[in-house]
Amino acid sequence: MKELISITSFASVSALGSTPEKIWENYLNNHHFLTLKEFDGFKTWVAQLTAEDKHAVEDVKNSDNKYKNLDPSVLYTLFVARKAMEQTNWKASDNFGINIGSSRGATSLFEKYHKEFLSTGKSSTLSSPTTTLGNISSWIAHDLQSNGPEISHSITCSTGLHSLLNGVAWLQSGMSEKFMIGASEASLTDFTIAQMQALKVYARENDEYPCKAFDLNKTKNTMVLGEGASVFCLERGKNKNALAFIEGVGYATEVLKHNTSVTTDAECFQKSMKMALATISPDEVDAIVMHAPGTIKGDQSEINAIQKIFCNKTPFLTTNKWKLGHTFGASGLLSLELAVLMLQHQQFIDVPFAKPQQAPKKLNKILVNAVGFGGNAVSVLITK
């Protein structure tokens, strides 16, 4: 990278809550925040927003008559974008850029309108504008009154960190001084859960910890789907008010052998981590927040890639999916949030059922990984 990028604010909503204080408090305990939810004909584990946050999102929905027909994925982002904006000195006249992504997009509305079409043979007037992928960034720009560039995209589960890549590119090109990046996922629907179950990756056991992300001894896949949104405000250069700095970014894509495949040694992760580190010695990395979705192959392949890059000096490893579920496109940014919080508090958050690790004496540099179907890996190195 040409220069450091400053993270000047962030906000999120997930099963852990929606304030940094509450989220950190929930990271400090060994409890998961997964619950059993009834779907159409079955019950399974999910990670839902708290009742309090659902009420807050409902308030956002009622704050503007035009918001009443929006999908939850848009409303979640409106909720957190407002919170992130409040923590900065940004003004609408700054014309900051916006890039919000989502893996699934307007899942609830799309399923609702499609069901309606199958039943009646007709589609509602708002079915198209409220389910297009650009829907999220457009509404954020409207709500915050920004006149800067707005971008939307979907790159499966690495969508959030691809938003960060785009923000970094715009800032380093000099085309923008400030950029809001984020991702949202509101896909706790019957059809989406059924898709994950069809892939044989979903948790089925009523265990103390339903999602065993980073348990390398598990004999069954244990992915659990969560919902949430996360937004970060980025600024070019070394800002004195920065919460953390982005020091390196890396990305790679594997040659597909199957729609959901990642190689045994996750070659995409090896390439993305190498690129993010650039000239920095692997020994300088104190911790890695892994993607670790809770599947047997997914978790192990990422560990294999890490061992290839870091050899005998593996950093402290952690993941948050056992606690707040896999939030698809938003997952990478929720992992980035955990990394920033660990840097701020100088405290490690481990996985209670994983093999014990020796914690480093300090936290100065943390690597964050995300990958999606198709081997689209992104790694981001942040520093204190």
What CA–CA distances, in Å, run from 157 to 28, 143, 204, 368?
26, 26, 22, 13
pLDDT at residue 258, as a whole number: 54
pLDDT digits (tens, 9 = 90+) for 191-206: 999 999 999 999 998 8
262: pLDDT strictly greater than 70 = no
Residues above pLDDT 70, as percent of the chain: 98
Query: How large is the greatest C-alpha to C-alpha distance in the chain, in angstroms?
Result: 64
pLDDT tier for residue 12 given thresholds of 50, 70 and 90: very high
Contact 348/330 with Cβ under 8 angstroms? Answer: no
> Do the bridges between strand 228-236 and strand 5-13 make them parallel or antiparallel, or are there none, so unpaired?
antiparallel
pLDDT (tens digit, 9 = 90+) per residue, 282-335? 999 999 999 999 999 999 999 999 999 999 789 999 999 999 999 999 999 999
CA torsion angle 165 170 173 178 (round to 10)? -120
SS3 249: strand
pLDDT at 54 over 90: yes
pTM of the model: 0.96
- Tens of pLDDT, residue by residue over 112-168, are 999 999 999 999 999 999 998 778 999 999 999 998 999 999 999 999 999 999 999
What pLDDT sits at residue 82? 98
Mean pLDDT over residues 245-273, rounded?
83
Mean pLDDT, all residues of the chain: 94
Q: What is the C-alpha to C-alpha distance for residues 34 and 48, in angstroms, rounded to an integer?
A: 7
Structure confidence by residue, pLDDT tens digits, 355-369: 999 888 899 999 999
Neighbours of 25 (CB within 10 A): 12
Q: Nearest CA to 303 among 315, 353, 196? A: 315
Give the CA distances from residue 196 to residues 46, 87, 187, 209, 225, in Å, rounded to whole numbers and listed in that order.
12, 37, 11, 19, 9
Greatest mean pLDDT among 14-28, 84-98, 197-211:
14-28
Q: What is the pLDDT of residue 257?
A: 63
Please determine, for residue 259, whether its predicted confidence score (pLDDT) is greater than 70: no
